[in-house]
Structures are given as structure tokens and as C-alpha cells.
Amino acid sequence: MRPRIGLTLDVDEALGRYELKRDYADAVVAAGGVALLLPHEPGAVTELLTDCDGFVITGGDFDVPPELYGEARRPGCGPAKPERTGFELALVQAALEAGKPVLGICGGMQLLAVARGGALHQDLVADVGLSSHQQPAPKDAPSHLVEVLPGTRLAELVGAGPLAVNSTHHQGVREAGAGLVVSARAMDGLIEAIELPGPAFALGVQWHPEVVRRHEPRHAALFAGLMAAARAST
């Protein structure tokens, strides 16, 4: 049986609809999984832990509310989607507690850090003077290198050393959170990947492997690793 992977959805409140870029689902299917779309229903988290073998926490054009990591909003912090974030935070925390595999992508990585008590740079330009992490189109093409640290799960999947990634974010992880280790950094020092050591699969990456895999096939290994962990957890 193929692993059932829950994908979190974005929401367009003005149009009254859920949204998901198909690259997320395509990457799951290409890796051998079944993609299940998850509406924002915090009360269903317990059932989802039974129905899904693993989760992808997707990205989106919004920010994690800084109140969740104990800070006041500063200029440069973008719009929030409290309903989506509340659901995703409850899902991440429950999945980690249950040992369910989790892959956090872009904002999903940031939420993984916050779920473990970490903190974010609210705006990379304002906070640390980094202006190179929002690339122009095409958004799927690699735009900079990260250094994957040896001895990490990420290194097991894609190899240690330089890895070309894309970059479409204005926030970043400042503190990884309790128990999480940094598994990749950009050449400017920004944290680009975090993970929980040990047998559980809990990995977050700041880039978008679901699209950049078209240019650098090594990124497909992130989804293959999620599938392997999902099969092992059933």
C-alpha cells in the first residue's frame, strides 16, 4: 500500500477557496505516495494522525505570527493567516509527539522551528540586512548554494556539501528550537534546514524541493525519505 501523505492547504479568504500548488502533490506521487489534502480543522488532528502516514507542511505567501514566538510585530513582518497557522501548528505538534514523519517546506520549516520553541527573523532585510533570499522569476530554478552538514539526515538524503537551491522567502529561522539541529546553512550563514536527530523523520528546508527537483534531481530524495519513513511508521 502506498503511504498516505497529508498536505496542508493555503486559503484565499477573498475567493472563499482552498489552494495548493500541484507541484507538492506531484512530488509526493512521484515518490510513491498518495496525496491527501487537509482542510483547516484543528479538531480533526487526532483522526488525521490515524488516516495519514506522514505530512508535508507546505509554504505560502504569509508569515507566522510573531506572537507565537514571544515577540511583538515589527515593520517588515507580513500578513498572517491565523486559521491556517493554528491548524498547522496543532498538526505539527501532534505529529511530532506521535512520531509521525513531517517534512516542512519554506514556511513549514519556520513553523517547525516555532513549534519547538524557536524564533524567526521577522524580515531578513530589516533584521540582518540580507536581501538575496527572494529571487526573481523563474522561481523554480536554483539561485544560490547551501552547505549541507555531514552527519545529518539531510546529508544522508542529498549528500553533504554544496547543494543548489531556490529561494522565495523574506523571513528565516533565527533559533532552531528545542531538540532541533541545523542541517544546512546558506553561504551568508542563514539557517536553511533543520531536523530532529534520532529515528523520527522531522525535517524542514527553507527552499522548495517540490519545484527545484526539476533542475537538481537530488531534491527528490527529500520526498523519497519521507515515503520511506512513512512506510516504516505504519
The residues assigned a catalytic role are: 106, 208, 210
Contacts of 108 (CB under 8 A, 6+ apart): 8, 56, 57, 58, 59, 88, 204
Q: What is the C-alpha to C-alpha distance for residues 189 and 38, in angstroms, rounded to an integer?
A: 34
Residues 130 and 174: beta-carbon distance below 8 Å: no
Report the amino acid identity of residue 185.
R
Q: What is the C-alpha to C-alpha distance for residues 100 and 94, in angstroms, rounded to an integer?
A: 8
Of 185, 180, 224, 184, nearest in space to 202 by CA: 180
Strands 181-186 and 172-175: unpaired
Question: If you search the block for the grid coordinates 528545542, which residue do you land on?
Answer: 178
Cell of 180: 532541533
Cell of 211: 519545484
CA distances from 5 to 115, 156, 215 (A): 20, 21, 24
Q: What is the C-alpha to C-alpha distance for residues 87 and 95, in angstroms, rounded to an integer?
A: 12
